[in-house]
């Protein structure tokens, strides 16, 4: 099985790519390289368009990881697409949606940096997102958090991407903030995201290059999910 090239890691801003079909299973199509992010780590799979050699454009409804880490599957709107291994296809992501995911996902790191307790879950959406915290004795204030998160955005912190080995990560377990989303193991080095002077952690999602791109953020609700747990909801304005 050939290993898919994850072009969205080299450049999360790439909107189009020409790739070769490597496998087809009904409406699911695998490629040798992709800019489509597959559902994972609380971030939705990308949607967009895949155009085959016959110039027919198909909607990509979703993107998922395959059974192996080497696979990424694009779900087309039909299994009658006529694509076969070896075909060259032009792919384009729904950039407006993905860019919102990148801004939101980056925003989740900012929020996490302001609340130094374990994260127990989370979900990134184009319009709204949420992050769950095991709060313990900490308290949260909606207005205060909104002010502080927008300050981090305004400070325009650059964001850099790197990798860490599994052995290095084992030596620094405190880097993994989320109990529910652990980085994948046994597949080589793990991707890291560093928001300069703010946050550093392993993360496989897509992010913007500078916090200033996040835009205006509003914490619109803090929900009580039990004695210790709080769900923080946020919107981009
Ligand atoms: Zn992330």
Q: Which two tokens stand for residue 213?
A: 């791109």
Distance between first and last Cα of the chain: 44
**Ligand 1 center from residue 142 Cα (angstroms):** 22
**What's residue 67's pLDDT?**
87
114 contact partners, CB below 8 Å, separation of at least 6: 145, 148, 149, 152
**Mean of pLDDT values over 91-120:** 95
**Mean of pLDDT values over 76-94:** 97
**Ligand 1 center from residue 86 Cα (angstroms):** 33
Residue 217 pLDDT > 90, yes or no?
A: yes
**Mean of pLDDT values over 211-232:** 94
**Ligand 1 center from residue 54 Cα (angstroms):** 37
| 143 to 40, 111, 139, 217, 234: CA distances (angstroms) | 30, 13, 13, 11, 12
Residue 183 pLDDT > 70, yes or no?
A: no
**Ligand 1 center from residue 222 Cα (angstroms):** 21
The upper half-sphere exposure of residue 7, i.e. CA atoms within 13 Å in the direction of its Cβ, equals 16
**Ligand 1 center from residue 193 Cα (angstroms):** 7
Q: Is the model's pTM score more than 0.85?
A: yes
Residue 8 pLDDT > 90, yes or no?
A: yes
**What's residue 184's pLDDT?**
66
Ligand 1 is an ion; residues with CB less than 5 A from it: 105, 203, 205
**What's residue 22's pLDDT?**
97
**Ligand 1 center from residue 208 Cα (angstroms):** 10
**Ligand 1 center from residue 49 Cα (angstroms):** 25
**Ligand 1 center from residue 40 Cα (angstroms):** 11
Q: What pLDDT band is residue 178 in, cutting at 50, 70 and 90?
A: low
Q: Among 30-34, 59-63, 125-129, which stretch is predicted with the lowest mean pLDDT?
A: 125-129
Please state, in angstroms and rounded to a whole number, the distance separating the CA atoms of residues 2 and 11. 21
- Better pLDDT: 188 or 223: 223
**What's residue 99's pLDDT?**
97
């Amino acid at each position: 099985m050939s290993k898919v090239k994850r072009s969205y890691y080299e450049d999360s801003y790439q909107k189009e790519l020409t790739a070769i079909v490597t496998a087809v299973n009904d409406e699911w199509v695998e490629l040798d390289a992709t800019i489509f992010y597959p559902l994972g780590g609380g971030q939705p799979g990308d949607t967009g368009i895949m155009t085959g050699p016959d110039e027919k454009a198909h909607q990509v409804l979703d993107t998922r990881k395959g059974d192996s880490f080497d696979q990424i599957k694009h779900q087309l709107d039909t299994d009658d697409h006529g694509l076969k291994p070896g075909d060259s296809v032009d792919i384009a992501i729904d950039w407006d949606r993905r860019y919102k995911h990148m801004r939101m996902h980056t925003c989740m790191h900012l929020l996490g940096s302001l609340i130094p307790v374990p994260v127990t879950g989370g979900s990134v959406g184009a319009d709204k997102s949420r992050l769950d915290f095991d709060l313990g004795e900490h308290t949260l204030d909606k207005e205060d958090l909104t002010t502080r998160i927008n300050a981090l955005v305004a400070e325009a912190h650059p964001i850099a991407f790197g990798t860490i080995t599994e052995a290095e990560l084992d030596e620094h377990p405190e880097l993994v903030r989320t109990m529910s989303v652990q980085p994948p193991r046994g597949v080589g080095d793990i991707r890291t995201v560093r928001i300069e002077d703010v946050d550093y952690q392993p993360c496989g999602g897509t992010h913007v290059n500078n916090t200033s791109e996040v835009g205006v953020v509003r914490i619109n609700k803090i929900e009580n999910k039990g004695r210790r747990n709080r769900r923080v909801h946020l919107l981009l304005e």
